[in-house]
Structure 1
Amino acid sequence: MSAQIGVLVFATSLIQLANGFFGTFISLRIALADFGASLSGLVLSSYFAGFTVGALRCERIIGRVGHIRAYAAFAGMVVAATSIMPLWQEPLAWLTLRAIIGFGCSGLFITTESWLNAKAEPTQRGRIFSIYMLGTFLALALGQLLIGQVDVETAKPFNGIAALFAVALVFVSTTRAEPPRKTVTTALPFTRLPRTAPVAVAGCMVSGLLSASFYSLVPAWMQGEGIARETIALFMLIAVLGGLAFQVPVGRLSDRFDRRLVLAILSLGFALTAIIVINLPHTRPVVLTAAALLGGFMSTLYPVCVANAHDQMPADQVVAVSGQLILISGVGSVIGPLVGTIVMAHFSIDGLFYFMGAVALLLSGTAMAGRALVTEPAHQERTFEILSPQAAPLAHDQIDPL
């Protein structure tokens, strides 16, 4: 692996370290600010909205100004917005700033991954992206541990996050850029994918909804219950590591069996875990086991859906299909915290878990119904991708949704 690729992987790990910490930290900070259920949901959802818009638009910026300048612009955007947040603690201001941060993070990931694609030899690409995603998961996990080490009421966490993004910018801006290879794509009418792969479309929507609801709202509730921040950090860490542990075995199962059956089992597993944990004693072994299972089930929904969609679409529309799935997942990520905060305001954490469990159960039924009505498509020769939790999957392909 060349030094340039190593720099890109290291810089992205720094960004994901900041992101992993930021996602949980902002949930706790918004709860302390007491914005109210509706405004809290909007602020938490705004990051995913900005990320989704960025995933659809940032490639044009990269093509116009080049990789290093685009990376500097996106990183500067995130650093500036993060630095302003402790100075302007109003709901609408934070909503706007979090959307800007989401847009900037999307641009950073797309810049990095298109750059990696340009530098990596075809025979090394799988290994390089495996290292890249392993670094992503480990950095996200480490970010959770920082929650127990900082005072979330002060401006210091914002300063630390901005510093990590700035350090990543320093590393990347001192390496040489190489433009990515151009790919030829064909247009895909937006109505075709839901008609051809309805289960995959539903699964991507649910995946975004569940992940955003879980990672945005559960830490805030735990803090409100007076649970120590070290325990919150451990819970979120176990959820991220559970997601990593599930990737390879689920990938192998999805390549061997009907992906819709695998999707149905994963979503059913999530639903049962969410419902059972509510009704069991909340001892540490029970809660941490549930965190690992929930993280594992929900983090593998998206890649299984992506693989299922590509099984049913022509090879020359891979990029267009990925773009539309990204958009659908992003919409789910916006909806999740919005609805989840309202549910929590009326029914506390039990209501949130019942809500997520019901949505997952509905997906399981949809997948089984699709399997009963439509013959399984042939599996395409496509490597199962390890995708990170939260919104990071949005950056995995160059985008041309329409």
Structure 2
Amino acid sequence: MNEHATVASRTSVWVPVTGLTIFAIASGYLMSLLPLSLVSHNIPTYAASWLASIFYVGLLLGSMLIEPIIKRIGHRMAFIAFISLLAVSVGIMAVYTSLSVWLAARFVAGIAVAGIFVVIESWLLIGDSKEERAKNLGLYMTSLYGGTTVGQFGIGLFGTTGMMPFMVVMALLAMSMMPAFMAKNAKPAVEEHISLTWKQILGLSKPALIGCLVSGIVMGSIYGLLPLALRISETTSNNDQIGVLMAATVLGGMSIQPIVGKLSCRMSKSLLLALVSILGVFAMGIYQLDQNYVTHIIALALLGMSAFALYPIAITLACDGIESASIVSATQIMLFSYSVGSALGPVAAQYFMRHSLGLMGFFFVVLLATAIYMLFVSMKTKPSVIAE
């Protein structure tokens, strides 16, 4: 990468980051809005898990289709196109309240969000060094989770009934396109994109693939079912409390990003994945042992730290040693793994919610299994980790 390209990439970073932040506010509000608005739209509450799963099926399909689109029209126009598609899906849900229409709209939304994620992640991960990639991804995750945190307060400000909440989401999505519209010359430093071969795909880090898979399982369940689980909890009695608990979860995820960015350059990433998984296990233990509202705020903040740290650690692990021209392809594969987990997670979590363990028990089991696996991997690969 030449000096001019490096300067250009740095000056254009504000475009994806600003657009992402506004998108995240809209997405954060929509995330909690959907399960909480089912009753007012005469849709059964059990549909929450199906709406979450169909969204991630769309994310799964989209993750396989994005690379050719970015190659053809570039990162900036691809971002505008995918945001527009997402806004259309939200508008359809505002007008039609049939479950079948909502399922179709969420499927389309999943494809659109897959495009948004691959565009932004590959834009920010294209760099010459691990340190630069870790720094940019930390900026990406902080913007994503910071915006998502702010979006949670839309529940109290705009409510969960009628068309108004959906109109607010659409307005925010329209605003998120403005930076890309205004900065017509903004683009990543590397415009050439090379697809990974099957041999290269099979050679990608297995802990990275597992980390993205588990991240999808946990995050899909948080986004799709946590608001509903909190509503039926004895410690929450209104939407404002649910909004605070959701915000605590996302704020916890945002607060750990700078730490993750620094640690991922200084220690084994598989060991780091084990440690953040153990943090989530600890958080769920606290949540189950004490039913106090304040304790639940702390526990969910710790869960957020754990769950929201898995993906950035895993994707930087996957991109270690990969040339910048192949980053789009690599991020697409990692998103595919994430999407598989996201599609399966809410369905499996729904089973736990029918029993005494509940959603928090589901998180406990998944994160404990992940911690054990990553600990074994880190011990097995200890000599090679020092080279990181």
Q: Which of the five TM-score ranges fits, normalised by the shorter chain? A: 0.7 to 0.9
- Paired AA for residue 139 in structure 1: G
The offset of 1:238, in angstroms, is 1.3
1:258 is matched with 268
Q: Contact 1:140–1:240 (CA<8 Å) still a contact in 2?
A: yes
1:192-231 correspondence runs (5 A): 192-193=202-203, 197-225=205-233, 227-231=237-241
Give CA deviations for 1:172-193 in whole Å, capped at 9, x if unaligned. 3343145542144541338724
1:79-98 correspondence runs (5 A): 79-98=87-106
The offset of 1:97, in angstroms, is 0.3
2:85 is matched with 77
The 1:45/1:265 distance shift into structure 2, 3 A limit, reads same
1:369 is matched with 376
The offset of 1:7, in angstroms, is 4.7
Give CA deviations for 1:337-361 in whole Å, capped at 9, x if unaligned. 12112321x226x422112211111
The offset of 1:73, in angstroms, is 3.0
Q: Contact 1:4–1:176 (CA<8 Å) still a contact in 2?
A: no
1:53-72 correspondence runs (5 A): 53-66=61-74, 69-72=77-80
1:236 is matched with 246
Identity within the alignment, %? 25
- TM (normalized to structure 2)? 0.83
Q: Which moved more, 1:144-153 or 1:196-205?
A: 196-205
Match of 1:341 among 350, 354, 369: 350
Matched, 1:101 2:109: yes
Matched, 1:323 2:335: no
The 1:175/1:236 distance shift into structure 2, 3 A limit, reads same
Q: Which moved more, 1:123-132 or 1:333-342?
A: 123-132
Q: C-alpha distance in 1, partners of 2:128/2:377?
A: 39
Match of 1:356 among 360, 363, 381: 363
Match of 1:158 among 138, 161, 166: 166
The offset of 1:375, in angstroms, is 4.2
The 1:134/1:271 distance shift into structure 2, 3 A limit, reads closer
- Paired AA for residue 26 in structure 1: L
- TM (normalized to structure 1)? 0.80
The offset of 1:335, in angstroms, is 0.9
Structure 2 gaps, min length 5: 1-7
Q: C-alpha distance in 2, partners of 1:6/1:307?
A: 21
Secondary structure of the structure 2 residue equivalent to 1:56:
coil
The offset of 1:143, in angstroms, is 0.5
The 1:145/1:41 distance shift into structure 2, 3 A limit, reads same
Q: C-alpha distance in 1, partners of 2:196/2:117?
A: 23
Q: C-alpha distance in 1, partners of 2:338/2:75?
A: 26
The offset of 1:111, in angstroms, is 4.1
The 1:269/1:13 distance shift into structure 2, 3 A limit, reads closer
2:3 is matched with none
The 1:137/1:359 distance shift into structure 2, 3 A limit, reads closer
Give CA deviations for 1:268-302 in whole Å, capped at 9, x if unaligned. 2212321331121x223211110111000111122
When the two chains are superposed, the root-mean-square deviation of aligned CA atoms in Å is: 3.3
2:310 is matched with 301
Matched, 1:247 2:257: yes
The 1:319/1:121 distance shift into structure 2, 3 A limit, reads closer
1:268-283 correspondence runs (5 A): 268-280=278-290, 282-283=291-292
Give CA deviations for 1:22-48 in whole Å, capped at 9, x if unaligned. 1111121236545353x4322112222
Q: Which moved more, 1:126-135 or 1:49-58?
A: 126-135
Q: Contact 2:253–2:306 (CA<8 Å) still a contact in 1?
A: yes
The offset of 1:170, in angstroms, is 4.3
Q: Contact 2:227–2:242 (CA<8 Å) still a contact in 1?
A: yes
The 1:294/1:66 distance shift into structure 2, 3 A limit, reads closer
Match of 2:192 among 182, 189, 203: 182
2:296 is matched with 287
Q: Contact 2:33–2:155 (CA<8 Å) still a contact in 1?
A: yes
The 1:249/1:121 distance shift into structure 2, 3 A limit, reads closer
Q: C-alpha distance in 1, partners of 2:123/2:377?
A: 38
Q: C-alpha distance in 1, partners of 2:336/2:75?
A: 23
Q: Which moved more, 1:235-244 or 1:131-140?
A: 131-140
Q: Contact 1:210–1:356 (CA<8 Å) still a contact in 2?
A: yes
1:134-173 correspondence runs (5 A): 134-173=142-181
- Paired AA for residue 279 in structure 1: L
The 1:246/1:135 distance shift into structure 2, 3 A limit, reads closer
Q: C-alpha distance in 1, partners of 2:269/2:116?
A: 31
Structure 1 gaps, min length 5: 382-402
- Paired AA for residue 249 in structure 2: A
Q: Contact 1:86–1:155 (CA<8 Å) still a contact in 2?
A: yes
2:44 is matched with 35
The 1:237/1:254 distance shift into structure 2, 3 A limit, reads same
The 1:153/1:337 distance shift into structure 2, 3 A limit, reads same
